[in-house]
Amino acid sequence: MKEPPYKVGKIGEQIAVEHLLKEGYRIVDRNFRVPGGEIDIVARDEGVLVFIEVKNYSYRNFYLPMYSISKKKRMRLFRTAEEYLYRKDIINNDCRFDIILIYRSESGKRKVELIKNAFM
């Protein structure tokens, strides 16, 4: 039986968190929501505040990962990140946007790929 999309998303986010912790990130927040936007994971990586979008696929697409997020979605992420900084009263802090791709390889093995600074 196929999992409902929200459950697949939650499972993907948990896999992403586990991967980030192994990479040395410190998780600060999850599922930050404001009207018009959501940030899946907010973390710190060596002093940099990182806004992370999690993408869960059944297989690896052939296009570049940063293109899996539309311009409209990127703009929502930027506005939501600005709101996060405002609400948390964070100033003068380096920030970046990462993407975590979760997919199955041709052999069926789960793969996790971290793309740092995905929109630069």
Per-residue pLDDT tens digits for 73-118: 999 999 999 999 999 999 999 999 999 988 877 787 888 999 999 8
Domain locations in the chain? 5-115
57 bridge partner residues: none
Each residue's pLDDT tens digit, 90-102: 999 999 999 998 8
Which uninterrupted H or E stretch holds 56?
Answer: strand 48-56
Q: What is the CATH topology of the domain spanning 5-115?
A: Trna Endonuclease; Chain: A, domain 1 (3.40.1350)
Could you give the dihedral angle defined by the CA atoms of residues 36, 40, 66 and 95, in that order, rounded to the nearest 10 degrees?
90
* pLDDT, average across residues 23-36: 96
